[in-house]
Amino acid sequence: MLQLYREIERNEFFVVAVDCAQGGADRNFGQFISKSRADIPLVFKMRGVAADMTPLIHQALEWIFDKTGVQPVVAFERNMGGASEMSRLQKLNRQGKYRIYQKYRVGDANGETMTDSLGFDTNVQTRPQILGDLKQAIDNDLIRIYDKDTVDELCKFIINKRGKAEAAANCHDDAVMSLAIAWQLYQTENSTSANKMTVRHRTGIIDKIF
């Protein structure tokens, strides 16, 4: 479910995005981008429903904080049960080891403001934008990708006859969409100092895996 491609370092800041699934052939796919090093050293892949995935993502986020001392920021794509799982994740975050992404609203002359909506909305307006931004990032070598499944999906992402970017026939897009959302967080989110937080280290499933 979790694949680690390099050691996580102290003071790294991570942004995390998860494309949720509701069973079947689709996967819950999470991309953990290090904004400090512009790479993706950790990915999450799990078939099944989003409800089964949330506790594992919670533990992964806590493990990231224990390793780095910096709160990661996380967003689930709100479709396929992601909206309700974001609320559940917020309740699990009792120790405040990570931050939940909140949707932005275009504000007045002073800039954007956050709403009460947790997670990231992918719709007819946002989808072309986030995929276009991701393409530019990849074309300009702005991010390092280690995961083979992600690379394979990117290679099979096409423009259909209607001009829409999508996975080729009989292929999936969960790795691509989670990466596109994570890249948006990479551009908008910044770390907050965790030096004043006193958090007890907890040994859990992530430590056992790695």
Task: Give the SS3 label for residue 139.
Answer: helix
> What is the per-residue pLDDT for 115?
56
CA triple 27-23-115, angle to 5 deg: 75
> What is the per-residue pLDDT for 158?
46
185-194 in b/e form (b: 16+ CB < 10 A) is bbeebebeeb
Q: Is the dihedral of CA 36, 41, 47, 53 positive or negative?
A: negative
> What is the per-residue pLDDT for 104?
61
Per-residue pLDDT of the chain (210 residues; tens, 9 = 90+): 899 999 999 999 999 999 998 766 678 999 999 999 999 999 999 988 889 999 999 999 999 999 999 999 999 998 878 899 999 999 999 999 999 998 765 554 455 555 568 999 888 888 889 988 999 999 999 999 999 999 988 887 545 445 555 544 444 578 999 999 999 999 999 998 544 443 433 334 334 333
Closest CA to 69 of 210, 198, 208, 203: 198
> What is the per-residue pLDDT for 60?
97
> What is the per-residue pLDDT for 41?
98
CA triple 114-78-17, angle to 5 deg: 80
Task: Give the SS3 label for residue 32.
Answer: strand
The alpha carbon torsion through 138, 142, 147, 152 (nearest 10 deg) reads 10
State residue 145 phi and psi, 5-degree precision.
-115, 125
Q: Note the pTM of the prediction, 2 decimals.
A: 0.82
> What is the per-residue pLDDT for 23?
67
- Domains of the chain in start order, with CATH, are 2-192 (3.30.420.240)
Residues sharing a CB contact under 8 Å with residue 169, sequence separation 6 or more, in sequence order: none
